[in-house]
Amino acid sequence: MRGLLALVLAAALACLWAPTPLDAARDTSVGAGRDTSVSAGPRQAGIDGAQPPAFRSGVDLVSLTITATDAGGRYVRDLDAAEFEVFEDGVRQEVSFFTRTNLPIAVSVLLDTSASMEDKMATVQTAATGFVQQLRPEDQAELIDFDSRVNVAVPFTNAHATLEAGIRATTAGGSTALYNAIYIALKELTKVQARTATDLRRQAIVVLSDGEDTSSLVSFEEVLEQARRSETAIYAIALKSKEAFLSSRGYSEADYVLRQLTQQTGGRVFFPTSVQELPGIYRQISDELSSQYVLGYSSRNTRRDGQWRRIVVRVSRPGVLARTKQGYYGPGS
């Protein structure tokens, strides 16, 4: 078991960030309430010099966080390792690590505080506070609010009162830098590093926004690439009015963006039409995060070519579906 935990630790440490010229212009070092100063500006394409994850052990272990549901969408929590089949680029893999133990989580809570959110803030704050209250003492969360700027209001902590106070202090104003916020949250999560097996944490982002990105420095393609290279599941709540379902191209673009980010990372997207649905959605996300499996395997593909490898997970139990990230980048040379 100790050897298996060592392998999982290696996977948890796998996604270390190498700074790039583009990143150098984006100061993401934060303290309590420090603005990251990523504001409106021209978008730039491409992440220069981004490196694929390099697993820091003698064995390249791929770790997967998996959600299993039945035909009714209910979480299935009693599966055994033998009921999972993992395929990488169509080749079946041998699972070398499996646990139903509810590993601690590091979650970044992102709240859209742009001007269009002003009449919704009180309900949003109540719902987000309820989500924080569901976290366990061993879990950690940070709060990021964003409009035209991105502000890490509360760095990672397990102090519920501090997080709740930060949520209550948010105010609306400005435009929407959604991509900037997710990009910074992904980079912040790379700082939550495991030093021992007991420090192992799943990683997630829970982002709420009511519209399209209007003022980010980074592009959607950059954010998606960063998400695919991470070990983070993204959960998105796309809050909009009923009229928005029938209207602008901007909202359709926002839907596409959030679907891509959540599907690629094994998360989930919600499309409520009323703020009254938010408490229930946050509870669903909390339930999902407490109902997951973690498994790992050593890839049969020994090439070190840095190429994308597609993952499919199947469950042998009839009527049960598995959801996880869609793939990963293999190690480089």
Instruction: Write the pLDDT tens digit of every residue in 201-217.
Output: 899 999 999 988 999 99
Report d(CA 298, CA 59) in Å as an integer: 7
pLDDT of 4 higher than 80 = no
Q: What's the domain count of the chain?
A: 2
CATH number where 58 lies: 2.60.40
The answer on 172 and 192 residing in a single domain is yes
Same domain, 226 and 316: no
Q: Which residues touch 219 (CB under 8 Å, ≥6 apart)?
A: 43, 44, 45, 179
Report if residue 34 sits inside a domain.
no
- CATH code for the domain of 171: 3.40.50.410
Question: Is residue 53 in a domain?
Answer: yes
> What is the distance between the alpha carbons of residues 159 and 213, in angstroms, rounded to a whole number?
31
Looking at the fold, whether 190 and 300 belong to one and the same domain comes out as no
The confidence score (pLDDT) of residue 283 equals 96
Same domain, 277 and 300: no
What is the domain range of residue 302? Answer: 1-27+46-102+292-333
Tokens, residue 125 = 């704050």
Query: How much of the chain, in percent, has pLDDT values that exceed 90?
Result: 70
The reply to whether 114 falls in a domain is yes
Is the residue at 248 inside a domain?
A: yes
User: What pLDDT score does 185 carry?
Assistant: 98
Q: Identify whether residues 71 and 140 lie together within a single domain.
A: no
Residue 33 falls inside a structural domain: no
Asked whether residue 187 falls in the same domain as residue 142, the answer is yes
Are 82 and 224 members of one domain?
no
Question: Is there a domain that residue 38 lies in?
Answer: no
pLDDT tens profile 273-321? 899 999 999 999 999 999 999 999 999 999 999 999 999 999 999 999 9
Q: 61 versus 321: which is more confidently predicted? A: 321
125-159 pLDDT, tens digit each: 999 999 999 999 999 999 999 999 999 999 999 99
213 and 301 assigned to the same domain: no
Q: What does pLDDT average to over the chain?
A: 83
Residue 14 lies in a domain: yes
Predicted confidence (pLDDT) at residue 71 exceeds the cutoff of 60: yes
Are residue 84 and residue 108 in the same domain, yes or no?
Answer: no
Residues contacting 243, CB < 8 A, separation 6+: none
Judge if 132 and 55 occupy the same domain: no
Residues 285 and 304 reside in one and the same domain: no
Residues 226, 119, single domain; the answer is yes
Has residue 328 been placed in a domain? yes
